[in-house]
Structure 1
Amino acid sequence: MIDRRGRYFVKDAPLYLRPRIDPPLASLLEDAPFLHSLADALGSPLNVLLPEVVAGNAERFRSVYRRHHLAGRVYFAHKANRSSALVRRLAACDPAAVGVDVASLEELRHALGCGFTGDRVMATGPKDAEFLWLAARVGATVNLDSLTELDQLAGLVRKYRLARTDVLVRLSGFESDTGPGGAGTRLLSRRSRFGTPAAEADGLWRALERHADSVELVGLAYHLDTTGLEEKGRALERCVLLMDECRARGLAPRAVDIGGGFGVGYVEDAGEWQRWTTALSEAVLGIRPPLTWRGHGYGLRNEAGTVRGTAALYPAHRPTAGPDYLDALLSRSAPVLGRPPATLLLEHLHDLFIEPGRALVDQCGLSLARVLEVRPAGDAPDRYLVRLGMNAGDVSLEEHGVLVDPVLLPRGDPGHGPTDDAPVGVHLVGNLCLEADLITRRLVFLPRLPRPGDLLAFVNTAGYVMDFHAHHAQHQPSARTVAVTRDDGAGGPWRWCPDENYWPLTHPQGVPS
């Protein structure tokens, strides 16, 4: 075909970004009648969770600890999902191995109500007085973001005669030398508005000594907004060295908390991800038709024939993610001491704390949306608008830069119409009367044109995508959430219950196991 400037294009082959689907999520998707029955009964949109998967993910992280002979605890970053079922299932795990990281007063109350005891809770994030008081009252470990929080916590402990509270202090702004013997290029980790710069650690140590009657330092923490193994390795090594400084002052920290950021691989095929991102750059340059609604560039722009900017996209294909990423981090030699972080932790008898969110709920759920309307897009004869029974706030793929195709679940016999068996490009739009209500800005390719009544299943949405940005505009229904289980392992029928009714020791029907 020929564009408006007279340039010739070969008709594009479908640019798929098909999801990675592991068991048992794959088995659930194969049971389309069951998923249709759920959506028929509970409406669209609908979130479906697999609580047993989160326990399996926690065990995979724990296996990395055992491989490196490390002690410590895996804390689930609760902000990744509001579910009760997931938190209750984790509460039933080994108390010494699994905890929960709460970033608000309501998350703390929810975790306690789901079965976690205070000693298994890590309180992180910005904290007000109420959050600090309850955390100290129940015996949670408080991960302090600043000197101000430390002073406020110590004051509350004294005022209300609470027990001495375990604390970690969060650091940022790590520096290290890369040359032999630490005499090379000076590197600084990226700036963060959270944590105390490592260069100001002396002030922290003095404050901890001043508040020794109210708080006990149990470790140092960091959480870097990066996927770079080298940068995280430098921070971990620096924390180990700073803990030596603490011990020299009479403090007794015993753990390093390295936060989260272990990642998830959403797209199965690396080649599909590479082809799509390459095509995006070509579309921005105008050497191929647009891949997105109104030519949106996801942060890329055309400046005089050159692509500028940075794509604001999550790296959807990640060959090393989750527990494998943790293993790689612990195995990589640190820049100054020249030994792997796992070795450094063992030599110093330090525990390791981690706070995975997205990675701990990997493959734990999906979001269903009913197809309401299908019509030509108007800008091209072979593109369509597909309106769904959800809006962008119900499945915040765009907000988090996650690009992955949904799975089409036809209702009944898909039929054999003229477009039924041919791949087709569609724009997925939401149920709000807002131009910006796009489920995804990119053109999505499906194996055939969907029809009203079909379902689209957005796979692997339990980490941040499912309910991180839900809202109630226009009185549209918000997604309900259900937990699904199987009675006899992989071979039994699927059963469901409302998320809030799931308990680890009870079948969905409420009959004790």
Structure 2
Amino acid sequence: MPRPGTPLTGVRPFPLTALRHPTVATLVDDHRALLADLLDGLGSPLHVVLPEVFEENITGLRRAFAETGADVDILFAKKANKAGCFVSSAAALGAGIDAASSAEVVKALAGGVPGHRIGISGPEKDDTLHALAVQHDCLVALDSIGELRRLAATARLAHRKVRVLVRSRTEGQPGSRFGMAAAERDAAVSLCVELADHVNLRGFSFHLNGYSPGERAIAANEMIEHCLDARRRGALSAGLVDIGGGLPMRYVEPRLWDEFLRQNEPAHYHGTKAARGFSFYPYGGHPPAEAARMIMSHPVDGDVSLSAKAARNDIRFLVEPGRSLLDQAGFTVCRVQQVEDRRDTDGYAIVTVAGNSLSLSEPWFNTDYLPDPLLISARPAADELFPACVAGSTCLENDMVTWRKIGFPRPVRPGDHLVYFNTAGYHMDFLESRFHDTALPVKAVLRLGDGAESPRWRLDGI
């Protein structure tokens, strides 16, 4: 409870305890001295990345799809994290990479992923990216007739044939800026058949906002029908449906998340942030493997499951998870730089960490990263609720790492550490910036599974 005499401004902070993978729990419980040394030597904030958890996620997602009878290849959406260790892990397990830039393709190839396991997405890709795709036999998702013509010309000059998907707008989201409407899609199929010496139409893909397994299954079923139509029109290789990403993941227990949504109010936040409105990522969502089973078992055409219909029509799937493959595969440690105790006036403190909010971002529409950080302190424990939000160390008013008031179990002091869990998926480097001429945070790669007494670590990329 607040100390005697503290004004009762705001409300008691609501806990959003982050889930922890056993490997993460071992590191923060048993190897705090190592984490402190890494933070001292490499700087704050420090991103810790865990390729062995990433590899476990690939294996688990494959198993979930296989249980439904679906034939699915996994392409890791590289945009979710720039760390090279995840590319190397994908290559070692025979997974592919979803890339949307020339730099991402080059890094995928350098990390050991062969070109035929690289999918290239993104709107209206430039000629350099097209040339790389043609040269290395990548699979290209096309967004327009114009792009199809340009890519075919590149393949013709190289005396090669390029594999393509036609990205189609779904009936559920016809206003998307990605993909072709029905008339353009039909024209693209005809053009692919006409350009068969240089273009091999392998199937269809789509872009879908949101995390509904049912909506994704319905959209995938539309793509199956497009494949069957394309085969009838002469595109005999059309047997691949790319369902994209959009697999949800779970940061906190669903019961806790639902209760948070019921109790959420502006008084839980610093300043006027909540008054401008929030759109939250579904932190209490389905685990990725469960979502995969829900998509493939969803009934289409009456009571037939999506996976059964695909098998009956010789259709294979691609899936492009990013955030969900990185579930629990990394966390971020920040050093507390200063504490401004406003409990006597405002009812809470402002904790400033070494770093800024762009290095721990939630790229989800006007919100911040919600799960509670863990306070690590060398000082004796104190049974005293310490409400505080967390600020970055720049001169910007809106540089808040956590706008929400956290109920720390003891007073926070300079030199303490805050651990933000499960930050590998988009949170680490999606918005990173060298504002104020500061260095970008480094990523330390840690592994526990080699039998060593202490975790082995290295800098990513070395």
Aligned to 2:289: 323
Which residue of structure 2 aligns with residue 293 of structure 1? 270
Q: Does 1:263 align with 2:248?
A: yes
SS at match of 2:394: coil
Structure-to-structure mapping, 1:34-433, within 5 angstroms: 34-93=34-93, 95=94, 98-126=95-123, 127-161=125-159, 163-174=160-171, 188-189=172-173, 191-198=175-182, 200-252=184-236, 253-267=238-252, 269-280=253-264, 283-284=265-266, 290-297=267-274, 300=277, 311-318=278-285, 320-334=286-300, 336-377=301-342, 380=345, 382-397=347-362, 399=364, 401=367, 402-410=369-377, 412=378, 414-415=379-380, 420-433=382-395
Give percent identity, aligned residues only: 30
- Aligned-partner Cα distance in 2 for 1:212–1:158: 11
Matching residue's letter, 2:13 = P
Tell me the amino acid that sits aligned with residue 165 of structure 2: L
In the alignment, which residue of structure 1 is the partner of 2:457?
496
Q: Out of 415, 428, 431, which is 1:453 matched to?
A: 415
SS in 2 for 1:235: helix
Q: Compared with structure 1, are the counterparts of its residues 453 and 339 closer, same or farther at alpha carbon in structure 2 (3 Å cutoff)? A: same
Deviation at 1:471, TM superposition (A): 0.4
Q: 1:74 deviation in Å? A: 0.3
Corresponding residue SS for 1:87: helix
How do 1:456-475 and structure 2 match up within 5 A? 456-475=418-437
RMSD: 2.1
**Contact 1:398-1:441 within 8 A present in 2 as well:** no
Deviations 1:356-380 (A, max 9, x none): 0000111000111100101223684
CA deviation string 1:160-190 (max 9, x = no partner): 32x201111111132xxxxxxxxxxxxx335
**2:185 alignment partner AA:** A
| Structure-2 residue corresponding to 1:476 | 438
Residues matched between the structures, number: 452
TM-aligned CA deviation for residue 326 of structure 1: 0.9
Q: Deviations over 1:344-403 (max 9, x none)?
A: 111111111100000011100011110010122368454101000110111113656441
Whole-Å separation in 2 of the counterparts to 1:10 and 1:86? 45
Q: Work out whether residues 11 and 268 of structure 2, in 8 Å CA contact, stay in contact via their aligned partners in 1.
A: no
- The amino acid of 1:160's aligned partner reads A
The residue type paired with residue 152 of structure 1 is: R
In the alignment, the residues of structure 2 paired with residue 190 and residue 380 of structure 1 have an alpha-carbon distance, to the nearest angstrom, of 51
The whole-number CA distance in structure 2 between the counterparts of 1:199 and 1:260 is 26
Structure 2 unaligned blocks of 5 or more? 2-6
The code of the aligned residue for 1:497 comes to R
Cα offset for 1:159? 2.2
C-alpha displacement of 1:499? 0.5
CA contact (8 A) 1:394 1:469 kept: yes
Aligned mates of 1:397, 1:233 — CA distance in 2: 27
Query: 1:34 offset after TM fit, Å?
Result: 1.4
Aligned partners of 2:214, 2:197: CA distance in 1, in Å? Answer: 38
CA distance in 2, matches of 1:430, 1:165: 47
Answer with 463-472 or 236-245: which moved more: 236-245
Report the TM-score when normalising by structure 2.
Answer: 0.93
Per the TM alignment, residue 487 of structure 1 is displaced from its structure 2 partner at its CA by: 5.4
CA shift digits 1:54-107 (9 cap, x unpaired): 1111111110232122323100000000001111111111x3xx1110111100
Name the CA distance, whole Å, in 1 between partners of 2:442 and 2:319: 30
336-345 or 116-125: bigger deviation: 336-345
* CA displacement at 1:113 relative to structure 2: 0.8
For residues 297-340 of structure 1, the C-alpha deviation after alignment (integer angstroms, 9 at most, x for no partner) is 2754xxxxxxxxxx41101111x231210101111112x34311
Quick one: which of 387, 391, 406 aligns to 1:444?
A: 406
Task: Provide the rounded CA distance (Å) in 2 between the counterparts of 1:296 and 1:11.
Answer: 14
Tell me, which stretches of 5 or more residues in structure 1 are unaligned? 2-7, 175-187, 285-289, 301-310, 502-513
Q: Deviations over 1:400-447 (max 9, x none)?
A: 64411111121x3x225xxx3212211100010111111122112222
Is the contact between residue 221 and residue 256 of structure 1 (CA under 8 Å) also seen in structure 2?
yes
Q: Deviations over 1:149-168 (max 9, x none)?
A: 1111001111232x201111
- In structure 2, what is the Cα distance between the partners aligned to 1:218 and 1:170? 11
CA distance in 2, matches of 1:164, 1:424: 63
* CA positional deviation for 1:199: 5.2
Q: Is the 8 A contact 1:266 1:460 kept in 2?
A: yes
TM-score, normalising length: structure 1:
0.84
* Distance in 2 separating the partners of 1:488 and 1:105: 35
Partner of 1:178: none
Question: Conserved in 2, the CA contact under 8 Å of 1:15 and 1:272?
Answer: no
String of CA shifts for 1:110-139, please: whole Å, max 9, x gaps. 111111111111111131100010111111
SS at match of 1:408: strand
Q: Is the 8 A contact 1:398 1:440 kept in 2?
A: no
**Cα displacement (A) at 1:227:** 1.6
| Runs of 4 or more consecutive aligned structure 1 residues displaced over 6 Å after TM superposition | 8-11
